[in-house]
Amino acid sequence: MTGTEQRKIIFIVGNSRSGTTMMRRVLGNHPDVYMLEELHFFEQLWSTNDKHRKMSREEAEQLASRLLFIQRDGYLTTMDLQKHANEAKAIIDSMQVDLFPHEVLGAFLFHETRKNGRSIPCEKTPQDVFYIAEILELFPDARIVNMVRDPRGVLLSQKRKWQRRAMGAGFMTKKEQRRLRINYHPITISKLWNSSIRAAAKYKGHAQVHNVNFEQLVNASEAEVRSLCAFLGITFNANMLQIPQVGSSNEADKPDAFGIKTERAGNWEKGGLNKAEIWFCQKICGENMHIYNYEVKPISANPFMILWYYLSFPVKIILAILFNLHRMKNIVEAIKRRLS
């Protein structure tokens, strides 16, 4: 980036991967917006200690190479820092500011956006909801779109997420499938939903943060997207609603079908969660559910199933931490942010 120049960057965050993915496709259909892959910059490539740390030239080039590889070759692909080394050097050469990690990210975002003939970079990493303060501080002209979904819908999506490999996501490795299965537990997912709600609640009414309800986006698509465009300062384009019907954890991809399916709003009510999972979700998230007008349903769960989830929770937490260590630059900071 070039010193004091202010340039808009859109960050999509939230407590629903399905919701943020849908928003990614909606904004990616706008002629001015370039939708990047999930970069996982905050938490995995950056921690609070990096905020004021100037990088060496070599470190900056390596970070740019890493970002290029994630964008071009995939987040789950074995990293090769040499593959895009020359282009990374060119990005760093173009920078006219100190080599802080976030400045390298900004330079990369605009480099990739211009390369693809667009003007506004847009990056989607759901867990960045825990880094809203840092995004607003480091990128003063940022716009943050926060996606919120019914926690029971999030629970169902996370429960079935490991099955995406058989639904069209052939790029998903078996190792990633195991990690996703281990990550799921109704208590964990419900607590994370609560944490994300609390993290975003601090910025309610903030001029640079816009909340989008997944269910409203599905049921009143055009009105919601028009409101979003007004917030972002871009012109509404009807093509934004014509997104491919892929990426759901609940059904196979239909890449030849386009549009936003209203059926996705309450799919958790059609099955997939047992009564104990719903009981835990509503018990943990009930207070915040009321804030977003999500109705808490009367539910009676098998006490033995409730006991089983209580007993298995510590084991699943330990396993989840072990299987995700490589994805967090500062494990203590990441856990504090996610489960505070």
Q: 3 pLDDT band (50/70/90 cuts)? A: very low
Residue 224 pLDDT: 96
Asked which of 42-51, 115-124, 329-338 is least confident by mean pLDDT, the reply is 329-338
Cβ pair 130, 20 in contact under 8 A? no
Burial class for 319, CB neighbours closer than 10 Å (0-12, 13-18, 19+): middle
Mean pLDDT over 79-108 rounds to: 95
Q: 256 pLDDT band (50/70/90 cuts)? A: low
Phi/psi for 121 (5° steps) reads -75, 145
Q: Supply the mean pLDDT for the chain.
A: 88
Q: 78 pLDDT band (50/70/90 cuts)? A: confident
The answer for residues whose C-beta is within 8 angstroms of residue 314's C-beta and 6 or more apart is none
Asked which of 26-35, 146-155, 258-267 is least confident by mean pLDDT, the reply is 258-267
The predicted-structure confidence for 182-221, as pLDDT tens digits, reads as follows 889 999 999 999 999 999 999 999 999 999 999 999 999 9
pTM of this structure? 0.88
Cβ pair 77, 69 in contact under 8 A? yes
What's the CA gap between 337 and 320, in Å, rounded?
16
Mean pLDDT over 93-102 rounds to: 94
Asked which of 1-5, 131-135, 335-339 is least confident by mean pLDDT, the reply is 1-5
Q: Is the alpha carbon torsion for 60, 63, 68, 69 positive or negative?
A: positive
Mean pLDDT over 101-124 rounds to: 97
The answer for residues whose C-beta is within 8 angstroms of residue 62's C-beta and 6 or more apart is 81, 88
Cβ pair 120, 113 in contact under 8 A? yes
Phi/psi for 261 (5° steps) reads -85, 120
The predicted-structure confidence for 53-69, as pLDDT tens digits, reads as follows 999 999 999 999 999 99
Q: Is the alpha carbon torsion for 166, 169, 175, 178 positive or negative?
A: negative
Catalogue all structural domains in the chain, each as residue range(s) with its CATH number. 10-32+119-339 (3.40.50.300)
What's the CA gap between 281 and 286, in Å, rounded?
8
What's the CA gap between 48 and 134, in Å, rounded?
8
Q: How many CB atoms lie within 10 A of CB 7?
A: 16
Beta strands of the chain (E only): which ranges? 10-14, 33-35, 120-124, 143-148, 209-213, 244-245, 254-258
3-class DSSP assignment, residue 11 = strand
